[in-house]
Structure formats: structure tokens, C-alpha cells
């Protein structure tokens, strides 16, 4: 029987895994601030109404219980502020020392994974404000390019620390889709984001690091771009926003997928419907490998529903898969 790590590698390589897993066994490391922390405290776990300033100078506010905060004040809302803005330093011990401490606690036989949460686009709009940034793409393109370049300079600095501790895998991501289509014009993605993405993707590819990319929403329009960049695994492949068979056809043998099981179905149940949904996703996305079966969003699922998901994956996610889930349950 293959270890979890070896089985995951076979999934990534479309190389005869024994079973479908929900994810890759990993020990995560992250710089201080990767989850929007601030030097004076603050996180999404604070009471409703709490506010804090993150390491970038963005003010966050918790508005719903058990939900991460929302950015509400932006240090670069005015392009003129760029002249005096102090960018965080990836070599600041307050930010990077945690990476080394966390890496030292790595268990055996798991991937060491570094996080670049909110890699570029999302970090930019938390600095500038989403509406401001949308306007600036057209009216202040030089300002946008400078902001994006500085953000990626920071991410590359963090990447050097991740490489120093020997990461096997990194998580990058920006939410680039809505439920119906692109959040940004593909032209904007090509002109502004891709040149910066290439800088960090090329670095990690040169070191043989597995690249895991996250984007919510409809993502089929972005697939060839992600393949060209060198993404190894794409998450979460939202069932409500994507034609799963189309996404699989375009990525088969080229890029692994993670997710694809409707969160709405798992939340609503009943267990029989959840099991049918899992079987459908397994067959549609995983019958030839390259698939990690998981909910397409993380939610506080009812325990009986989560148990039904896990039981279905353990029961039906053993190769060779059968086509019993070919037709989706209504």
C-alpha cells in the first residue's frame, strides 16, 4: 500500500494512484502577515466589530461571526500615496523568522508547503481598494504596474525563505472568477498579472517545487494560462460555476484538480444525495487520475453530512473507479 505522500505524487503525475485522496499530506509554513495579521494583533477570529491594521497598512474589520474580516481602508487608495509608502520587507525578522520555526517542526513523510495567500491581484485590491483598482487599470496603468511589481518583489523575497527551508510545494492564488465568468477582463490578466506571475512561477519551477493554485469562481477561461505558467494542481473547481467535464477535458494529463464537490449539496444533504454527488465528481474528474476529491469551499458542514462525504470518498475512491456516478443525482 502506497504512503499518503507517494499516492499524492502519483495523483499529481496521473501515474496510477491507488486511491483518490482529498488533499496532499502537508506541513504548512507561512510568514507573519500571510493571513492578514498586524504587528499590534488582529485576525479574522476576533469579535464582530473588531478592527486592525495588517502589515501592509490595510485596515480590516470583522463584520460576521466566524468569518474573516473585510478590508475597509486602503493605504494606496490615492496613487499619490505611492511616493511615500513603506513596503513591508520580506527579510524583516518579524515576518520571516516564523518560517524557519515552523519548518523545524515538520513531521516525516509529508510535503513542506509554503503559503503565498492573496498572491497578487487580491493583495493589490486590499492595498488600493477594488473599485479604485478597477478604475486605475484604465486611468493609471503605470501606477498599477508599479504596485503589482512591488507586491511580487515581496513575494519573491518570501519565496527565497521558503526555498531556504526546502519547501516541496507552494500555495499561490487569487480569486479571478465570478459565478458566471471572469472577474477581470482577460486582457487585464494578460497585460498586468501574467508578467508578474511568471516571475514567481519561473523561480519555483526552476527548483522543482510543486505549484498549487487557488481561484474561486468560473475558471475555464484561465486554464491555458495556468497550464502555461506551470500550475501542478488547481483548486477548488467550483461545481456551481464550472462545467466539470469541460475543465477535466482541458486539463487531463496536464494539471491535477482539487475540489469539485458541491458545497451546497454537502450543506443541504441528505447523506444519500451527498454520496451520489461524490460519486459523480469522482467519475467526472478522477477516473484517469489527477484528482483530489474535496468540497469546493470550506464550510462548517453538519457532522452527519461531512461523515457521508468522507465515507463516500473512502468507499468509492479506490482505483479502478466505476461509472456508477456517471449521472448526477438531481
203-220 pLDDT per residue, tens: 999 999 999 999 999 999
- Number of domains the chain is built from: 1
C-alpha grid cell, residue 167: 519547501
CA 33 to each of CA 27, 75, 123, 170, 173: distance values in angstroms, whole numbers, following the listed order: 18, 16, 12, 16, 16
| Residue 15 to residues 254, 289, 291, 319, Cα–Cα distance (Å) | 12, 7, 11, 12
In a domain, 282, yes or no: yes
Classify residue 110: in a domain, yes or no.
yes
What is the per-residue pLDDT for 66? 77
- 66 within domain boundaries: no
pLDDT digits (tens, 9 = 90+) for 99-136: 999 999 999 999 999 999 999 999 999 999 999 999 99
Which pLDDT score is estimated for 325? 65
Which range of residues forms the domain containing residue 98? 4-40+80-325
- Phi, psi of 298, rounded to the nearest 5 degrees: -85, 130
Q: Who contacts 310 (Cβ-Cβ below 8 Å, separation ≥6)?
A: none
61 pLDDT more than 90: yes
Residue 65 lies in a domain: no
Task: Answer yes or no: is 47 within a domain.
Answer: no
Whether residue 309 has pLDDT greater than 70 = yes
Is residue 94 domain-resident?
Answer: yes
Residue 43 in this model has a pLDDT that exceeds 80: no
- Whether residue 69 lies inside any domain: the answer is no
Is the predicted pLDDT of residue 329 greater than 60, yes or no? no
pLDDT tens figures, 133-168: 999 999 999 999 999 999 999 999 999 999 999 999
User: What is the maximum span of the chain, computed from C-alpha positions, in angstroms?
Assistant: 61
Residue 44's pLDDT is what? 67
| Window from 102-106, 177-181, 319-323, 324-328 with minimum mean pLDDT | 324-328
What is the CATH number for 270? 3.20.20.210
Above 70 in pLDDT, residue 327? no
Residue 56 has pLDDT above 90, yes or no: yes
pTM value is 0.95
Answer whether residue 68 is part of any domain.
no
Supply φ then ψ for residue 185, to 5 degrees: -55, 135
Amino acid at each position: 500500500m502506497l504512503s499518503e505522500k507517494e499516492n499524492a505524487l502519483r495523483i499529481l503525475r496521473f501515474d496510477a494512484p491507488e486511491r483518490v485522496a482529498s488533499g496532499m499530506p502537508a506541513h504548512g509554513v507561512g510568514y507573519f502577515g500571510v493571513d492578514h495579521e498586524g504587528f499590534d494583533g488582529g485576525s479574522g477570529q476576533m469579535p464582530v466589530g473588531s478592527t486592525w491594521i495588517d502589515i501592509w497598512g490595510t485596515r480590516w474589520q470583522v463584520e460576521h461571526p466566524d468569518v474573516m474580516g473585510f478590508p475597509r481602508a486602503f493605504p494606496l487608495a490615492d496613487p499619490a500615496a505611492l511616493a511615500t509608502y513603506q513596503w513591508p520587507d520580506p527579510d524583516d525578522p518579524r515576518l520571516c523568522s516564523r518560517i524557519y520555526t515552523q519548518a523545524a517542526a515538520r513531521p516525516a513523510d509529508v510535503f513542506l508547503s509554503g503559503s503565498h495567500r492573496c498572491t497578487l491581484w487580491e493583495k493589490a485590491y486590499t492595498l488600493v481598494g477594488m473599485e479604485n483598482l478597477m478604475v486605475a487599470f484604465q486611468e493609471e496603468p503605470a501606477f498599477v504596474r508599479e504596485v503589482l511589481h512591488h507586491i511580487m518583489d515581496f513575494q519573491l523575497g518570501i519565496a527565497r525563505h521558503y526555498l531556504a527551508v526546502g519547501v516541496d510545494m507552494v500555495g499561490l492564488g487569487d480569486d479571478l472568477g465570478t459565478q458566471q465568468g471572469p472577474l477581470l477582463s482577460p486582457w487585464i490578466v494578460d497585460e498586468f498579472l501574467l508578467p508578474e506571475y511568471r516571475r514567481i512561477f519561473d523561480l519555483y519551477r526552476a527548483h522543482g517545487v510543486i505549484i498549487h493554485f487557488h481561484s474561486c469562481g468560473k475558471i475555464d477561461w484561465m486554464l491555458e494560462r495556468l497550464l502555461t505558467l506551470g500550475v501542478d494542481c488547481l483548486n477548488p473547481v467550483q461545481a456551481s460555476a464550472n462545467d466539470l467535464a469541460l475543465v477535466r477535458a482541458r486539463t487531463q494529463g496536464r494539471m491535477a484538480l482539487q475540489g469539485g464537490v458541491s458545497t451546497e449539496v454537502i450543506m443541504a444533504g441528505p447523506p444519500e444525495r451527498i454520496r451520489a454527488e461524490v460519486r459523480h465528481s469522482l467519475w467526472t474528474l478522477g477516473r484517469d487520475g489527477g484528482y483530489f476529491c474535496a468540497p469546493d469551499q470550506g464550510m462548517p458542514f453538519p457532522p452527519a453530512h461531512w461523515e457521508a462525504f468522507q465515507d463516500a470518498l473512502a468507499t468509492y475512491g479506490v482505483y479502478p473507479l466505476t461509472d456508477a456516478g456517471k449521472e448526477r443525482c438531481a
